[in-house]
């Protein structure tokens, strides 16, 4: 029996596939893994993480529910409008993070509103810090 060579394999030109390949995202529609407030509080030894929100009309404070490199969820005392432009600010340990942001969703929960917020042009240093927090949790390192 003669060994097969690469040149023995026919060309793929004109080969058509009858289906579209779509890789599965293990995160569903999300681009980043979110860390819950409970995970963050263990890392930073805190009771809760306050988040300050500034709109064109007013300022108020909510409580961080989860975070990832792309955004965060906050429990707020007021309902904001979807797609509303805002500024967010909070501390994770000794790191202060301030960013422009956009409200993505609002859901009433008891007396407050769970609000999904997407960072808009979060600076690279802050984005890397948030990614590092997740890596620290996965590797069980302290910050």
Band of residue 133 on the pLDDT scale cut at 50, 70, 90: confident
Q: For residues 45 and 23, what is the distance between their CA atoms, to the nearest angstrom?
A: 38
How do residues 12-54 score in pLDDT, each as one tens digit?
666 555 556 555 555 555 556 777 767 776 766 667 889 999 9
pLDDT of residue 132: 84
pLDDT of residue 70: 92
Residue 131 has pLDDT above 80, yes or no: yes
Residue 139 has pLDDT above 80, yes or no: no
pLDDT of residue 3: 72
- Dihedral of the CA atoms 95, 101, 105, 110 (nearest 10)? 50
pLDDT of residue 100: 96
* Least confident window among 27-31, 45-49, 129-133, 136-140: 27-31
* Residue 97: both structure tokens together: 């993070």
How do residues 68-94 score in pLDDT, each as one tens digit?
899 999 999 999 999 999 999 999 888
Q: For residues 112 and 101, what is the distance between their CA atoms, to the nearest angstrom?
A: 20
Report the run of H or E that residue 30 belongs to, with start and end: none
Which distant-in-sequence residues (6+ apart) come within 8 Å of 55 by Cβ?
80, 84, 86
Which distant-in-sequence residues (6+ apart) come within 8 Å of 37 by Cβ?
48, 49, 63, 64, 65, 66
When the pLDDT of each residue in the chain is averaged and rounded to a whole number, the result is 81
| Residue 92 · residue 134 · CB < 8 Å | no
């Amino acid at each position: 029996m003669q060994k097969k060579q690469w040149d023995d394999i026919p060309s793929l030109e004109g080969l058509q596939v009858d289906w579209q390949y779509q890789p599965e995202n293990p995160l569903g529609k999300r681009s980043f893994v979110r860390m819950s407030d409970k995970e963050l509080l263990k890392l930073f030894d805190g009771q809760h993480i306050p988040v300050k929100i500034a709109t064109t009309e007013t300022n108020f404070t909510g409580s961080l529910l989860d975070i990832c490199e792309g955004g965060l969820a906050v429990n707020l005392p007021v309902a904001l409008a979807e797609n509303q432009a805002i500024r967010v600010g909070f501390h994770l340990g000794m790191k202060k993070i301030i960013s422009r942001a956009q409200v993505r969703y609002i859901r009433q929960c008891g007396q407050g509103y769970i609000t999904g917020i997407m960072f808009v042009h979060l600076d690279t240093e802050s984005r890397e810090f948030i990614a590092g927090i997740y890596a620290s949790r996965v590797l069980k390192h302290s910050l």
